Structure 1
Amino acid sequence: MSLTWSHWYCSGCDGRSARGRYQFVFAQNGVEALETLNQDNEIDMVLSDINMPQMDGLALLSHIPEVAPDIHAVIISAYGDMKNIRSAMNLGAFDFVTKPVDFEDLRITIERALTNLEAWRAATASRERLVALENELDVANKMQQSILPTEFPRFPGFQIHGSMTPARVVGGDFFDVIYLNNGRIGLAVADVSDKGVPAALFMMASRTLLKSAAMGLKSPREVLSEVNDLLYDDNDAMMFVTLFYAVYDPTTGEMNYANGGHNAPLVVHVDGTSTVLPGTNGIALGVMPGMNYDETTISIAAGDTVVFYTDGVTEAVNEGDEEFGMERLKQVFTSHPVREADEASQAVFDAVNQFAGNVAQFDDITCLIFRRNETVP
């Protein structure tokens, strides 16, 4: 993989990352970056600052399709610069990172962008060879999966793990882990209405808008209101997304959350008992503009586990047409005490799959686990 990095303070050079996976080509500004793209057709991605002399990052984004239409761009912007971030996304940027740069977040963002690019190129190259809709949906499914988090670093005091098993066609489930300022962590799980390629595209737009709003706003209720209005503005297909968004502050052990019509998460305690999070008022996003969302704060005790999920879990059916339901979800943790976040996630999937048996899955199954360690630093 080869990348070009536009930044006013960079001197021209190229080299490889510590693990030898990427080759970087540096440019001092947007004009030089375009010249580099013209000369080097092996570049896969542009990583650019917005503020540069001669040609800024937004102008660079507008010209990239003219010289290199088959690459992805990631923009670096000041924290909370929502106007420029939105402009960048409208100009075709795949994602963004904020200053001061968290290099772990930057690495994950680069890998997501390149994974998505590979899936896109595979879809483009194979489009003429596809002979059935199933094949095309399979490619779209891989594109959808490529933007979901796949790495979950170990944090002091807590663990996170998420996974999604797609149905036979592409759908609209997604989850995300968003690294915020002051060590806070944003946690989201969502389900887009309908299925198929339109739902997958709406899901990708929803996820991008959520991340953008979360980086610029502190309150979960403000984030949901912002995303709701942005989705409604360009929603000709009249789709919607249910979304649960929470922010965990490791310094206080508190979690603030707002719910846009989604399933309420389950809190599992150390003794195996569990409770459903108190509800908040709020309808699905993208239905009506100007919606207000309530927000609630809870304390996460040491040893508590929060299970975020979509209705693909509780509404999975068996051969007798019974639903898995909330009580069976609670029983998963009664019989399997939670020790690790990834084990808790796997226990949910194993229980649902065993319950469904040979019945074909009709909906995506998504589960995001947050666990506060029993020994808190």
Structure 2
Amino acid sequence: MLTRILVVDDEPDLELMITQKFRKQIREKELDFAFAHNGVAALQVLQANPEIDVVLTDINMPEMDGLTLLAKINEAYPMLKTVIVSAYGDMKNIRTALNHGAFDFVTKPIEFQDLEITLKKSITEAHNLKQAAQERDRLVALQRELEVAATIQKSIVPQTFPPFPERREFALHAQMIPAREVGGDFYDFFLIDDHRLGFVIGDVSGKGVPAALFMAVSKTLLKATALKGGAPHECLQQVNRILCLESVDEMFVTVFYGILDVASGEISCCNGGHNRPFVTRRDGRVEMLTGNEGLMLGLVGHWEYHSSQINLTPGDSLILYTDGVTEAMDHDQNQFTEDRLAECLQGGNHAALPEMINRVVSCVRAFAGGAPQTDDLTVLALRYTA
């Protein structure tokens, strides 16, 4: 790794001595030296060469002395390491320089073995400081990316409940708790016409901004297609074809899409590789849905999807969720599982939907026992009330 050093001294012989002493390192491109004869010239060199790592400067110089230069370097170039050169007996100035941020010092007449050791220490410290700064910048950029992803994710899903307060045939509630590493969970619901309610839950592969953007595209595309009124399998087939044409980096999305006939309680639905929902019956039974389970969307453009039917009677609820629920882990890497979710739902069919969802979240958190949440946790509940 090439290290660049600026030498600031008004003695004309020092440049020749430095280049002679370190000629091997210069030839092998380990070190590269720049020279200035006072503090003013040094600042001009630094401005033109921001890649300089270490400054070796005398204290007593015309126009601008080394202590003034040190103060300006600390203000404008805090990543630089400065080594002070001063007369052997000038301990007062040396102490002042060290107290004001100089990394080390050497005394005149310069002992080049001592200088080489001091420069090696300064170079190591400068490189470590730059590496730490780069790591910090990467973390800041990552945090900003996650904040952007969280904003996208939160803004794209409905937040107002009840969403259709004038409708008495059904009730809806949902909750999404993003993980620290934001993923691509989403949910949505919309009236296709006066008699049909569309609802969807999905989970995009990946994390961060790419997943959030792919989620936004998938959700928007699915809703726009669904509002045309076609059957669920027709909707997923069209969305899948488009995503396969447009998808990048092999991203995909799992989707469960259904249409509730609000007059009869019949649900026509299609599963695109998503977790199978549960039905909680009015009499207390909890059933996992069976039926056709298609491939996730965005992988195979010619995949054929199939719709199936569910019948809800008044008081029955459909519980949709993402794998952040069933795959939540405790400290021993045990998963929450579908069986535990079914147990959690047992007996909660008469509870209000917000209470039912809060119960699921509480069960997952109690199971995790404080283990970090590694995936978004999303639950959507639909109750037929007509």
> Is this contact kept in 1: 2:250–2:299, CA < 8 A?
yes
Match of 2:311 in 1: 299
Change (3 A) 1:297 1:336: closer
Q: Which amino acid aligns with 2:164?
A: P
Give me the whole-angstrom Cα distance separating, in 1, the residues matched to 2:297 and 2:210. Answer: 16
Give 1:81-92 correspondences, 5 Å limit.
none
SS at match of 1:252: coil
2:225 is aligned with 1:213: yes
Give me the whole-angstrom Cα distance separating, in 1, the residues matched to 2:310 and 2:202. Answer: 21
Match of 1:276 in 2: 288
Residues 264-298 of structure 1, C-alpha deviation per residue, up to 9 Å, x if partnerless? 10001123221111121410001011221011112
Q: Unpaired runs of 5+ in structure 2? A: 1-136
Could you say which structure has the larger radius of gyration? Answer: 2
Match of 2:34 in 1: none
Match of 2:264 among 218, 239, 252: 252
Deviation at 1:299, TM superposition (A): 0.9
Residues 70-95 of structure 1, C-alpha deviation per residue, up to 9 Å, x if partnerless? xxxxxxxxxxxxxxxxxxxxxxxxxx
Q: Which amino acid aligns with 1:268?
A: T
Give me the whole-angstrom Cα distance separating, in 2, the residues matched to 1:337 and 1:222. Answer: 32
Match of 2:353 in 1: 341
> Is this contact kept in 2: 1:138–1:169, CA < 8 A?
no
What's the C-alpha RMSD, in Å, of the aligned pairs?
1.6
Give me the whole-angstrom Cα distance separating, in 2, the residues matched to 1:161 and 1:228. Answer: 27
More off after superposition, 229-238 vs 259-268:
229-238
Match of 1:156 in 2: 168
Match of 1:88 in 2: none
Q: TM-score, normalised by structure 1?
A: 0.63
Match of 1:146 among 155, 169, 185: 155
Match of 1:63 in 2: none
Match of 1:134 in 2: 143
Q: TM-score, normalised by structure 2?
A: 0.61
> Is this contact kept in 2: 1:264–1:279, CA < 8 A?
no
> Is this contact kept in 2: 1:168–1:361, CA < 8 A?
yes
Deviation at 1:248, TM superposition (A): 0.2
> Is this contact kept in 1: 2:152–2:216, CA < 8 A?
no
Match of 1:311 among 316, 323, 348: 323
Give me the whole-angstrom Cα distance separating, in 2, the residues matched to 1:190 and 1:171. Answer: 11
Match of 1:350 in 2: 362
- Corresponding pairs, count: 246
Residues 115-168 of structure 1, C-alpha deviation per residue, up to 9 Å, x if partnerless? xxxxxxxxxxxxx9x944113312321221111011123321210001110110
> Is this contact kept in 2: 1:166–1:365, CA < 8 A?
yes
Match of 1:237 among 227, 233, 249: 249
Residues 158-183 of structure 1, C-alpha deviation per residue, up to 9 Å, x if partnerless? 10001110110221110111221133
SS at match of 1:355: helix
Match of 1:262 in 2: 274
Identity of aligned residues (%): 41
Give me the whole-angstrom Cα distance separating, in 1, the residues matched to 2:348 and 2:271. Answer: 28
Deviation at 1:339, TM superposition (A): 2.6
